[in-house]
Amino acid sequence: MHSAEAYVRCQPAESVASGALAALVALVVVPVTTQQTAQASDAVRLARAYLSRVAEPFPAALAALVAEVGPVEAAERVRAGEVSPSVASQTSARRAEEHACADLDLIARRGGRLVVPEDEEWPRWPLLALENVAARRCGGEPLALWVRGPHFLADVLDKAVAVVGSRAASGYGEHVAGEFAYGLALAGMTVVSGAAYGIDGAAHRGALGAGGVTIAVLACGADIAYPGGHQGLLGRISREGLIVSEYPPGVTPARHRFLTRNRLIAALGGGTVVVEAGRRSGAKNTAAITLALGRPLMVVPGPVTSASSVGCHELLRDGHAESVSSVAEIVESVGRFGDDLTTRPAEKESDLGAPQGEAMRVYEALGKRSGVSDEAVSVESGVPLDRVRALLPELELAGLALQVDQGWQKLEVG
């Protein structure tokens, strides 16, 4: 397990040329262990800090610009207003907000850091699913993540599960959430949730009670204790787990930010457990995103008379989720995704990325000890034969499948 405490201290530049960065930064890495980790350059971190405040997540047009020209050049263009109308619509209102240095210094004083895609700590594998075409409606990969806590983010997400549910939880729901989170932590799983009252809070407390790692994904700045009643809980999470947010320090909660936050909860977990959910709830939104990402969706059945379980029962009745009633069942369901896929070494990645949707179904239909014909894979997975024949070579290139005499065989990696 890695641990890292890295932060950026910004020193204002005495002078800058026109179009240059508005400030310079000096990177100070304070390792908890002797292991060195790859870090983004000073300019890249400063640029991403600026961009994370300039636009509300997820800014698709801005993200495309960053992917095309890099974060430093993108930040320059945004500052100068030399961007396309689509990028301008996402950035023009705040492009003059130059708080990157102050934000980086503040998060450092709160015991945190800005983690960016150029860092080794960046959770590439879990977030890769957000780039899936089928999940575009959920929003893509974040521009950066503001993180507080002693753990190395990428490491603790190797085996993770999201546990979510209603704020207006019943005693039954809070008990189940706490017990499940406790058991998952004992099983070595990281518990991801949203720090809300009810099910979320019970899940965080359960994981902490077992001495495990829990991640609170916030809809506000990572320095803000929200809800106020969870100030003590969030303080403990920042010391023993991790607090993660797309929003820079000082940003207050807003309704739309909770929906954006839900996509991160779904992405950071190898699967999602909905303990309780009303007919309309944020938990059902997280469930929908989980399905769009191709991740396992599990629900806990409740009393048929309980309004808090109506959403769970609807997900079951519609065939969108599987019922779970024990920690072992959750580990089994998430393990099919997590153990086989999220712990793969980086050299096994390919342009295919993490198997999602049809690719995941094809992968799961492969034989473990002997080959299976592509026709049999098609029947087992329910994926059309021509699509199966297109996906199998891609899985082979990704190091996930092997063509043998009898057909196609699953490669167990890790």
392: enclosing H helix or E strand: helix 385-397
Q: How far, in Å, CA of 380 to CA of 374, rounded? A: 10
Helices (H), 6-119: 42-54, 60-69, 71-80, 85-91, 100-109
In this predicted structure, what is the pLDDT of residue 308? 86
Q: Is 92 left (phi over 0), alpha (psi -120 to 50) or beta?
A: alpha
List of residues 6+ apart from 244 with CB closer than 8 A: 145, 146, 147, 153, 215, 216, 217, 218, 222, 264, 268
User: What is the set of domains in the chain, with CATH numbers?
Assistant: 5-108 (no CATH), 157-341 (3.40.50.450), 350-410 (1.10.10.10)
Better pLDDT: 378 or 330: 330
Q: What is the pLDDT of residues 81-113, one digit of tens each?
A: 999 999 999 999 999 999 999 999 999 999 999
- The residue type at 29: V
Neighbours of 382 (CB within 10 A): 11
Phi, psi of 329 (to 5 degrees): -65, -35
Mean pLDDT of 358-384: 83
Asked if 42 and 26 count as a contact pair (C-beta separation under 8 A), the reply is yes
156: enclosing H helix or E strand: helix 153-156
Q: Average per-residue pLDDT in the chain? A: 84
**Residue 186 CB burial class (10 angstroms; 0-12, 13-18, ≥19):** middle
In this predicted structure, what is the pLDDT of residue 401? 85
Strand partners, 200: none
In this predicted structure, what is the pLDDT of residue 412? 67
Asked if 156 and 338 count as a contact pair (C-beta separation under 8 A), the reply is no
Q: What is the pLDDT of residues 291-335, one digit of tens each?
A: 888 889 999 999 888 888 999 999 999 998 999 999 999 998 887
